[in-house]
Amino acid sequence: MLTDGAGVPLSLVITGANRHDVAELENVLSSAIVAAPKGKVTNLCADAGYTGNPALQVILSFGYIPHVRSRGEEKLLLETNPDFHARRWVVEACHSWINRFRKLLVRFEKKLSSYLGLLEFACAIIAFRKVIPVYPGFIISG
């Protein structure tokens, strides 16, 4: 999953549980619904699983500046620089928001296309709730 800095989902790819995230990096970046703006600096924060040269080359080929840090590095930066904010939580937060859709918590759909459609619908609802401001008197039921 690829999210923006606020955790709004931008790309989603489904694979088997035995596949590592790095193996699907190119598919995730190529299926993003919002492309990286041309001429603007776009950062991509990733965990230590993406430290290898092939993963870094894929990140650079899509126009992102890679920021790959381990937990130890972020912990050290948090201790030495009080203004530093870790960015590792945004994808986990998005997973948590998807888990609030009870139908998706356990996969019962037999077809991949059905499950992907439900996941994309949940991501669309999450994006709508995060991007569109909710005004007093405007009720979104869910």
Residue 58: pLDDT band (50, 70, 90) is very high
What pLDDT is stored for residue 133 in this prediction?
63
pLDDT per position as a tens digit, 101-141: 988 888 888 898 999 999 999 999 999 888 776 555 555 55
What pLDDT is stored for residue 135 in this prediction?
56
**Pairing mode, strands 2-3 and 9-11:** antiparallel
Q: What is the pTM of this model?
A: 0.77
User: Whose structure tokens read 């190529």?
Assistant: 30
pLDDT at 62 over 70: yes
Domain boundaries, the chain: 2-131
Return all residues near 127 (Cβ < 8 A) that are at least 6 apart. Answer: 8, 9
Radius of gyration of the chain (CA): 17
pLDDT per position as a tens digit, 3-34: 888 888 999 999 888 888 888 899 999 988 88
